[in-house]
Structure 1
Amino acid sequence: MRYHLLIITLVGAIFLAACGNATSEPVAENTEPTSDTTAEAATAEPTELPAEEEVPTEDPTEAPTTEPTEEPTAEPVVEVRTFQIVPEETEASYDVQEQFLEQDLPVRAIGLTNVVEGEFQFTTGDELSGEVSRMTVDLSTLTSDSDRRDQAIRDRWLESNTYPLAEFVSTEVQNMPESYTEGEEVTFTLVGDMTIRDVTQPVTFEVRGTLEGDTVTGTATTFILMEDFGFEPPAIAGVLTVEDGVDITVNFTAVEVSDTQE
């Protein structure tokens, strides 16, 4: 009995061993994808690439616009020009009214001289201005159409042999034109002091003048009373009387001089 049990046990062990060997061989793995896998791969949605991050860009800086600049207007050149009177081309005169008792109408007595010296300045630029630094006239050289009159003026009336010079010095220029073109005549008023026989009085000259190149020509006129300068009008009892009023005229020519010539 024990013998039969042993044989059965042995047979069973062999059987189990045979079964074990049969199942120990690996089954070849089917590496081909199944249709489900293929379909799944085909229908898989594409992976979205990450969106590119936008790099902020700066707005281009707008170049500042440059306003057109106006060119500065050239300033007029201011120039001070000095002129000296040319005696040979200048004449100073007096004009008075004489009344001879035997005549119904007065007579004009005119005395002339070209012994005149002086200088003046013009300032040119935006505006024209001027002044007479000085002007002197030798009264002792005045001559008229009567030697007798001339001698009486020198010795008794004007006493120009003792006080030969009349001098004018300007203090102010009035009524100058706002603009000036060379070659055009201008008119203005010259205010100053005149000295005759050591007596100084204010006098106003009305002036007309023309500047052409380096030469100025013109006329200056004024009116004075003899008594203002300390002398009586000439008179000869029963023969002659003279009105107390003198028209003075200076017709002048002056040329420009440089600083080294002054």
Structure 2
Amino acid sequence: MLRTLPLWICVLLAGILGGCSVAASPTVTGVGAGSKSGTTGGADSSGQILAPLEQGDRLLDAPGSGLRLTLLAEGNEARYRAQEVLARLRVPNEAVGRTKDVSGAITLDSTGTVIPGQSKITVDLRQLASDERLRDRFVRTDVLQTGRFPNAEFVAREIRGIPWPAPATGDFSFQLSGDLTVHGVTRSVTWNGSGRIGGGHMNATATTSVNITDFGMAIPRVVTVLSLEDAITLELDVRAVTG
């Protein structure tokens, strides 16, 4: 969401897990479930031991328990990457806008199925910033119209790739599908991500691509930009705790 405009959004995550550091002992608890210690293995940059996922190493051992992942107040970031050609350079350039104002949660039931009513990620588009103030102002006021549509929201509806019951520690990849709303328009998107779980935390990063025009926005036409591609990439880095 961009080089001359992000769509960002998004939002997502949700069962996400990224390559951030995790806290102390590799023990995670599920909603209404007890905790279980994970096995040991390789260590991340902080020295935290995180093992590859193993069949016998499960986060949830109580029948009927689910899992809720709540984003932390800090450590999250949403980005858009847009391909443009600036008039002053006349060569391809990648515009990157980002915001750390990302909040929300993802909830899975006892079968590992997403509960949409409890799984929403919100991104404050008013805080998007790139390396060009003029671009940022134009994107916020003329493209995203953040005065009317301040947030981008992603409601998760399906997650694939994560073993269930969820593991206590390890690295894995996933796909998170759902509805992304930007500029008052909702479209179905799928995020492709990877992450790490351990110490009661899940860190993840995910990406998806969307077209600016699919969300009711026109491709910006300004004298400083010769061209801007309709397709943009959205990225999301999140840090979540279980509870």
> Fold-level match, TM-score > 0.5?
yes
Structure number with the bigger relative contact order (C-alpha 8 A, sep ≥ 6) is: 2
The offset of 1:102, in angstroms, is: 4.1
Take 2:90 and 2:156, find their aligned partners in 1: how far apart are those partners? 40
1:145 aligns with 2:131: yes
The offset of 1:88, in angstroms, is: 1.4
1:162–1:141 distance in 2 versus 1, CA, 3 Å: same
Structure 1, unmatched stretches of 5+, are 1-74, 258-262
Take 2:134 and 2:87, find their aligned partners in 1: how far apart are those partners? 17
Q: Which has the larger share of strand?
A: 2
How is 1:190-205 mapped onto 2 (pairs within 5 angstroms)?
Answer: 190-205=176-191
2:106–2:156 Cα contact (<8 Å) kept: no
- What amino acid is the match of 1:187? S
Tell me what 1:156 maps to: 142
Structure 2, unmatched stretches of 5+, are 1-59
2:153–2:180 Cα contact (<8 Å) kept: yes
Structure 2 residue aligned with 1:188, among 165, 169, 174? Answer: 174
Tell me what 2:121 maps to: 135
Identity %: 31
The offset of 1:186, in angstroms, is: 1.4
The offset of 1:193, in angstroms, is: 0.5
Highest Rg: 1 or 2? 1
Residues 131-180 of structure 1: CA deviation (Å, up to 9, x unaligned)? 67000101111011111111001111221232111111012223334676
The alignment's TM-score, normalised by the length of structure 1, stands at 0.63
Take 1:148 and 1:212, find their aligned partners in 2: how far apart are those partners? 42
- What amino acid is the match of 1:157? V
1:222 aligns with 2:208: yes
1:83 aligns with 2:69: yes
SS at match of 2:74: helix
Take 2:147 and 2:100, find their aligned partners in 1: how far apart are those partners? 17
1:87–1:109 distance in 2 versus 1, CA, 3 Å: farther
Take 1:123 and 1:95, find their aligned partners in 2: how far apart are those partners? 34
Tell me what 1:244 maps to: 230
Structure 1 residue aligned with 2:91, among 80, 87, 105? Answer: 105
SS at match of 2:66: strand
Tell me what 1:118 maps to: 104
Take 1:189 and 1:214, find their aligned partners in 2: how far apart are those partners? 21
Take 2:75 and 2:192, find their aligned partners in 1: how far apart are those partners? 20
Take 1:99 and 1:113, find their aligned partners in 2: how far apart are those partners? 23
Take 2:209 and 2:100, find their aligned partners in 1: how far apart are those partners? 19
**How many residues are paired up?**
181
SS at match of 1:149: helix
RMSD across aligned C-alpha pairs, in angstroms?
2.3
The offset of 1:205, in angstroms, is: 0.7
Structure 1 residue aligned with 2:155, among 154, 161, 169? Answer: 169
The alignment's TM-score, normalised by the length of structure 2, stands at 0.67
The offset of 1:130, in angstroms, is: 5.2
Q: Which has the larger share of helix?
A: 1
- What amino acid is the match of 1:105? V
Take 1:224 and 1:239, find their aligned partners in 2: how far apart are those partners? 20
Tell me what 2:199 maps to: 213
1:201–1:229 Cα contact (<8 Å) kept: yes
The offset of 1:237, in angstroms, is: 3.9
Is 127-136 or 240-249 further displaced after alignment? Answer: 127-136
The offset of 1:111, in angstroms, is: 0.7
SS at match of 1:83: strand
